[in-house]
Amino acid sequence: MLNGTTAEIKPREALRINPAKTCQPIGAMYASLGINGCMPHSHGSQGCCAYHRSHLTRHFKEPVVATSSSFTEGASVFGGLANMTQALSNIFTIYNPKLVAVHTTCLSEVIGDDIPMMIKKATEEGIIPAGKRVIHANTPSFVGSHVTGFASMVAAMVKYLSESSGKTEAQLKDDGQLNLIPGYIDPADMRELKRIVKEMGVKTVMFPDTSGVLDLPQDGRYRMFPSGGATMEEIKSAGDSVGTIALGHFASHPAAIELDEKCKVPAALLELPYGLTNTDLFIHALRNHGGVDVPATIGEERGRLLDAMSDMHQYFHGKRVAIVGDPDHVIALTQFLVELDMKPVYVFTGSSGKHFEQRLTDILANHAPDAMVKQNVDLFELHQQIKNNPVDLIIGNTYSKYISRAENVPFVRFGFPILDRMGHRYFPCVGYMGALRLMELINDALLDHKDRDCAEENFELIQ
């Protein structure tokens, strides 16, 4: 594989080689795990469900539970109603979850299964116990990516669960509750967002919330349904909030828009709070919507980040960077690299969406106008571009390490999935403190590479 990438670039429209994305059900399954007491359910074959579970397990190093409708040839021909009915009966009898979140696969989408009808029928027949809920999202793998699957499931949470109780504007303001939709980020990042919100003194409902679900401490006990996750009651109450902060255009904005249309909850549509500017905007939104002042502790964190950016500027200045990953991650990270005075050269995502190219063109207009910004591309093309025009650093998920090794370029693991390292499970990248960690990862990668490859007379104690 390392020697199989050619430098000659030819047009490709119908073929992807090493795609920089994975399929919708993985994102939907991850979002479902952010609801307390939820059992994700894959309406399709066992093989699909097994792959999705294993991929998430490898990233989080935690057991990921999910059930399947276990399609066979018969279901493929006659439809999956009988499989779904039996599956829901088994799930509530054996596992007793509070909620089942159904996502579809290619097979069930191709045959045209009507999931809302199946849920209604199961409710009428008493298969779904009183007080339990079943929600669904359509997530075929032949369109979109894991990011759109995540977004669809979060929007389904709003569609099925969120309600407005009819409180007056004054009552809503007195309650002061704010919704926070965090985007497709790791549990460590969700935990950090909650810490920041608590430090700011803002009452929030965050959904989904995988902290306390996929980052559990080891105490010798296995829990199929951990204590973490947003509760159904919290998601229901999201319709009675004074506002919503949605982080990430692709992963979070659809749910915020759905909540605005359904319950008239106004939304602040932001980018993920990576780096200085995006975190400033997040803090500003919390202050405005929550009606609070920014505490000195948050100001001190910002000051430490600014100090580090000033101290380490010489190591970042002008470094040429290739970035690949999920669109929300790449947009926010590119903004931070510009703040560090680095030069993004290739900015790629495997997902589709015109907003990606439009937003990055704005970010890079005055700093790196010649950068190549592309959506719906793959790692093979990124490798080809780097062969023709090398870079100083690659930032991407674990699959990017093949390019790093082949071209001898420093590499920082970032995004999803990270299969061969552990830090993303415990150390956040969001907020001012997360930005410091990102700076450390980038700086260490650059200087470690320099120490390893420099001539002996340049091998110094102080770089």
* DSSP string of 116-182, one letter each residue: HHHHHHHHHTT-S-TT-EEEEE---TTSS-HHHHHHHHHHHHHHHH-------HHHHHHHTEEEEE-
Sequence-ordered list of residues with C-beta below 8 angstroms from that of 176, at least 6 positions apart, any chain: 202, 203, 242, 290, 291
Which of 48, 106, 205, 391 is the catalytic position? Answer: 106
Asked if 139 contacts 79 with a C-beta cutoff of 8 angstroms, the reply is: no
Q: Looking at residue 86, what DSSP letter applies?
A: H
Q: Rounded distance, CA 412 to CA 408, Å?
A: 13
* DSSP string of 25-46, one letter each residue: HHHHHHHHTTBTTEEEEEES-H
The amino acid occupying position 75 is A
User: Cis omega (within 30 of 0) on the bond before 417?
Assistant: yes
Asked if 340 contacts 392 with a C-beta cutoff of 8 angstroms, the reply is: no
Q: Rounded distance, CA 135 to CA 238, Å?
A: 16
Rounded to 5 degrees, what angle do the CA atoms 263, 206, 350 make?
95
Pairing mode of beta strands 393-396, 99-104: unpaired
User: What are the CA-CA distances from residue 355 to residues 121, 249, 371, 397 (Å)?
Assistant: 39, 8, 16, 22
Asked if 363 contacts 337 with a C-beta cutoff of 8 angstroms, the reply is: no
Smallest CA-to-CA distance from 251 within 33, 27, 64 is with 27
Catalytic (active site) residue 110 = yes
Helix (H) or strand (E) holding 347: strand 343-348
Residue appearing with tokens 């967002």: 193
3-state secondary structure of 67: strand
Catalytic (active site) residue 106 = yes
Show which residues are catalytic: 106, 110
